[in-house]
Structures are given as C-alpha cells and as structure tokens.
Amino acid sequence: AKAMNALSEWCEVEVRREGRVHKMEFERGYATSPLQDLGPAPAGARGTTITFKPDPLPDFFGNLAFDYATLEDRFREIAYLCKGLAITLADEREGGKTAHFEFQGGIAE
C-alpha cells in the first residue's frame, strides 16, 4: 500500500474499524487531508477500501493499461492464501466488471 500510494496521482483510504468509518486522502504520497472521522460504520462493517489513480508520469509507469485478467488471478491467489481476507476488484472502464474473492477457510478450502 505504501508503494502504491507513493506512485499514485491520488489515493483515498477508507477504514471501517471499531464501529467507526475513517478516511484520509493523499496525492503522490503526501497527505492532502487530515484523518477524518466519517461517523458510525454500518453494523458489523470492517475493512479497508483503497481507491487510487496511478501517476501518469513516464518515470513511474511506461504503460498504464491494467490487465483485468491478470489482476483477477493475482487477487484470487492472495485471498486464497490469506484466510478471511476479502478482496473486491472493480474495473470502472468499459462495462464495469467486478469480482469478489473471499475464502473463509483459506488454503484449506
């Protein structure tokens, strides 16, 4: 997450923890807002959502085209290896594909 934040034009992090929702925003690795308490989280909600836009500077990335199938495979593998971890991949380009990966038993599944 640290490397992704540093290499992003902008990044938003929203955390649901201990019954509260908190948010913080960054640009090119630097905080642009203080930690904000957005209020109570929905009952039982917890986890972190990270939304970002890769930095278009050619020094960082030569090609900004994400391959959905590659990300889908990697996120499935990570969720499978990390028991209880939930990952949602949302591609907001052309058609808006989404995929959700969560394996409560981890590798035992």
| CA R_g for the chain | 16
Q: What is the mean pLDDT of residues 82-106?
A: 87
Write down the pLDDT at residue 94.
75
Residue 76: pLDDT over 90 = yes
pTM of the model: 0.72
Write down the pLDDT at residue 101.
94
Beta bridge partners of 13: 24, 50
Q: What is the mean pLDDT of residues 58-71?
A: 76
Residue of 53 and 98 predicted with greater confidence: 98
Q: Tell me the pLDDT band of 109, cut-offs 50, 70 and 90.
A: confident
Among candidate residues 87, 26, 89, 74, the one with its CA nearest the CA of residue 53: 26
